[in-house]
Structure 1
């Protein structure tokens, strides 16, 4: 059964990677995952925003990608060592801080693809997304964090589990199963997933293959490829049959779909 997170949205899915920061916005100092970046994606007509969850020193889930603030604020401290009000001050002229709670409340018609980046954030993320589970996908490179966040959402009374895509370990199991042509192992790796969110290649390994696409689609699992910014790559991947594109240029991807 298709999860409500995916149901009714246009295809191919356009997932705005950390919101939308156009070259002009970047020149003005706006950073990714900021309130301005998510608002720009929403204004452009995006239905899906991919973002990242970290926990501040005072236990607030914020949408920030990196472990530290060097890139986005010129501050070497880790997100986990900074209190909410400090982070808000640092990002005030960079598009504005966005907490997960604010994002879910301020953009009620957006669907959020959330990567749980930090150990210890699972419980708070699960609790916050529980009332919004029909429009949230939870993922992480760590399957342990991903599953812990899903379990936290269930404990918090989510009417259904959020959608999910696999971490590195599960994806590795799937790629091995496809290489061995093991139907049983493939079935096990794809069980309880709603999407595979993958790079086209990882170093010399080709991750996206026709065999992977066929196996995923046979299990009603979508395939979303990241991070795709070149228009010709967008066209090529759409022709190949992928279901979604994670992109820094959601405006360009939407224009190609128009």
Structure 2
């Protein structure tokens, strides 16, 4: 049965990576109210974001472990309170807690990455009542499982994306041409979200795509910003593109219709 997260629009899907920071914007950071509003205004249905936990236990949309890159502040996200982080991000597009984001953008589907173990359980609880429009992901399969369990305990069933361990098992099973092992590796998984390459290893291949599709799982590739690369991957049969340039990707997809 298809999870409701996937019913908002047809494939190929465009996932706005950390929202959208328009090329002509100044002072706007990723993963902010302004970035998500820009993605929504551009026509994005799906947005990708990341979750950390503040010192006072608030789940916030933020990618890095510290504020150095975004705000020139060396403090860790886990070392500042929500109000402190809100002040820092106030001039950079506006901080969002996870509950605020889900309430502020009720028509968006969220792809949420559990960045740290401490955020997993409160994330799951926070998304439970919005589970039909949330897909939970993490490089660490255990973090994603903890978040999923917390969501279920609170009455929700989000969609799930594979972590690195699952990806490795899928690649090995696909290389062995074992559809049975691919299905076993992807049990309970709705989307295989992968880079085109992992070091020297090519991850996205026709065989991997076909194997995932045979298991009823979509393939989304990150992070793709060049239109020619988008076209090539879509020609291969991928179901979604995760991109910093949602505006460009939406135009590329529309041009293929």
* TM-score, normalised with respect to structure 1: 0.97
Name the count of aligned residue pairs: 254
Match of 1:98 in 2: 96
Q: Which secondary structure does the structure 1 equivalent of 2:135 belong to?
A: strand
Q: Tell me by how many angstroms 1:173 deviates.
A: 1.0
Query: Is 1:18 aligned to 2:18, yes or no?
Result: yes
Residue among 195, 200, 205 paired with 1:204: 200
Match of 2:47 in 1: 49
Match of 1:128 in 2: 126
Match of 1:40 in 2: 38
Query: Is 1:240 aligned to 2:241, yes or no?
Result: no
Alpha-carbon distance in structure 2 between the residues aligned to 1:84 and 1:8: 32
Query: Is 1:154 aligned to 2:158, yes or no?
Result: no
Q: Tell me by how many angstroms 1:188 deviates.
A: 0.6
Alpha-carbon distance in structure 2 between the residues aligned to 1:79 and 1:196: 28
Gaps of 5+ in 1: none
Match of 1:70 in 2: 68
Query: Is 1:254 aligned to 2:250, yes or no?
Result: yes
CA RMSD of aligned residues (A): 0.9
What are the residue-to-residue correspondences of 1:176-187 with 2, within 5 Å? 176-187=172-183
- When structure 1 is superposed on structure 2, of 115-124 and 12-21 the one drifting more is 115-124
Alpha-carbon distance in structure 1 between the residues aligned to 2:186 and 2:142: 16
Residue by residue, what CA displacement relative to the aligned partner does 1:110-161 show, whole Å, maximum 9, x if unpaired? 0000000011111110011000111000010010100000000001111xx1
Alpha-carbon distance in structure 1 between the residues aligned to 2:241 and 2:179: 27
Match of 2:111 in 1: 113
Alpha-carbon distance in structure 1 between the residues aligned to 2:182 and 2:246: 32
Alpha-carbon distance in structure 2 between the residues aligned to 1:134 and 1:115: 16
Q: Tell me by how many angstroms 1:257 deviates.
A: 2.0
Gaps of 5+ in 2: none
Task: Decide whether the 8 Å contact of 2:45 with 2:107 is kept in 1.
Answer: yes
Q: Which secondary structure does the structure 2 equivalent of 1:77 belong to?
A: coil
Match of 1:230 in 2: 226
* TM-score, normalised with respect to structure 2: 0.97
Residue by residue, what CA displacement relative to the aligned partner does 1:31-81 show, whole Å, maximum 9, x if unpaired? 100110001001111000000000000000000000011011110111000
Alpha-carbon distance in structure 2 between the residues aligned to 1:8 and 1:65: 25
Q: Which secondary structure does the structure 2 equivalent of 1:66 belong to?
A: coil
